[in-house]
Amino acid sequence: MQETKNYSRIIAGTMTWGSWGKKLSKWEMTKLMNHCVENGLTTFDHADIYGDYSTEEDFGSAFAESGIERSSIQLITKCGIQMTSGRKNQLKHYEYSKDYIIWSAEASIKKLNSEYLDLFLLHRPSPLMEPHEIAEAITHLLDSGKIKSFGVSNFTPSQIAMLEKTIAVSGNQVEFSLTHTDPMYDGTFDDCITKDRMAMAWSPLGSVFRKDGKKTKRIKKKLKTLAEKYGAEESQLLLAWLLKHPSVVHPVIGTANKERMVLSAKATEIDLELQDWFDLLAASQGHEVP
C-alpha cells in the first residue's frame, strides 16, 4: 500500500528543534536540516502542536533559506490534538471534523513553506472519530494534491480497521523501543506487515538512557558487550535492534545533535546477529524467550 522507498530509513524528528527544546535560530535550523540531508536523513517528522504550534513555522522559515530542493525531502506532520497553550482552548482534547482536518493540513503546508505534505497523520485516536467524515477530508486533500499519503499515529489495528471502512491508511507511527516492545505483541506490527503499512517508531531509544532501573541496567550491561563486538555506539545498537524487525520500522530520532544524527544514520549499516537480537530482548524482559 505505502511506497516508502523515498523515505529515509532514519527519520529526523523536529519536536525539540524549536521552543520545546533547543530553541534553534533560523540560521541554526537551516544548517541542521542541510546536515540531515547530507547524511541521508531526508525525511522530517513534525506535528502541528510542536513548540505550542510554532515549530512548523520556524522550520518552514529556515527551509526557505536552506537551498534544499523540496522534491529531495519528505515532510510528515500530524493534526488532531488541541492544546490549551498556543490556542484558545479551555482544555486539551481532540478534533477530527472534516473542516478542521482540511484547515489543519493547509495551515501546516503554509507554515512549512511547502505546496504539499508527503504524509499526513492523525496524531492520536479520538473516541469520537467518525470514519466517513475523516474520509471526506482526506479524500479532498489527496485529490487536491495537498497530501501525498494519509496515515495515523498511536492507533491500534482495530482503530485503523474502523477507518479503513472508508479510507486507506498508509502508515502508523507508534512508540517502540527495546524498553517498550508492545507493538511486536499487540498486533500493531502484524497489521503493518499484513497491510503493507509504513511502520514508524517514536522514542526509539526508549528509557535506556533516561531511567536507572533493573531493566535498563540489564540492557546497558548487554549493550556494553555488544558495542565492543560490533564496534558501535550503544545508541546505534538500540536502533539496529529496531531496524531488524520485519515490519521495516522507520525510527524517528529526537536528537538535534549533529554527531548523534550521523551515528544514527550509520546504524542502518549494523546487522545484528539473530542470537544477539534475542539476547537484547531477553535483557529487556528479564528472562529468555519461552
CA 18 centroid distance within chain: 17
The Cα angle at residue 241 between residues 237 and 243, in degrees rounded to 5 = 110
What residues make up the domain containing 196?
11-211+238-269
- C-alpha cell of residue 136: 471526506
Q: Does some domain include residue 280?
A: no
Q: Is the distance from CB of 204 to CB of 252 less than 8 angstroms? A: yes
At 220-229, the pLDDT tens digits run 999 999 999 9
State CA 6 to chain mean position distance: 15
CATH number, domain of 153, equals 3.20.20.100
pLDDT of residue 1: 46
Give the global pTM: 0.97
In a domain, 274, yes or no: no
Please tell me the distance from the alpha carbon of residue 254 to that of residue 41, in angstroms, as a whole number. Answer: 12
Catalytic amino acids? 50
Q: How far from 283 is each of 93, 188, 194, 222, 286, CA to CA, in Å?
A: 38, 22, 29, 7, 5
* Residue 288 forms part of a structural domain: no
171 occurs within a structural domain: yes
Crossing angle between the packed helical segments 98-111 and 55-63, to the nearest 10 degrees: 40
Q: Is 70 exceeded by the pLDDT of residue 3?
A: no
Question: For 164-180, what is the mean pLDDT?
Answer: 98
For residue 180, the one-letter residue type is H
Whole-number Å distance between alpha carbons of 83 and 85: 5
Residue 4's pLDDT is what?
55
Q: For residue 222, is it within any domain?
A: no
Q: Is residue 232 part of a domain?
A: no
What does the alpha-carbon distance between residue 249 and residue 242 come to, in Å, rounded to a whole number?
7
Q: What is the pLDDT of residues 214-272, one digit of tens each?
A: 999 999 999 999 999 999 999 999 999 999 999 999 999 999 999 999 999 999 999 99
User: Is pLDDT above 80 for 33?
Assistant: yes
pLDDT the model gives residue 5: 64
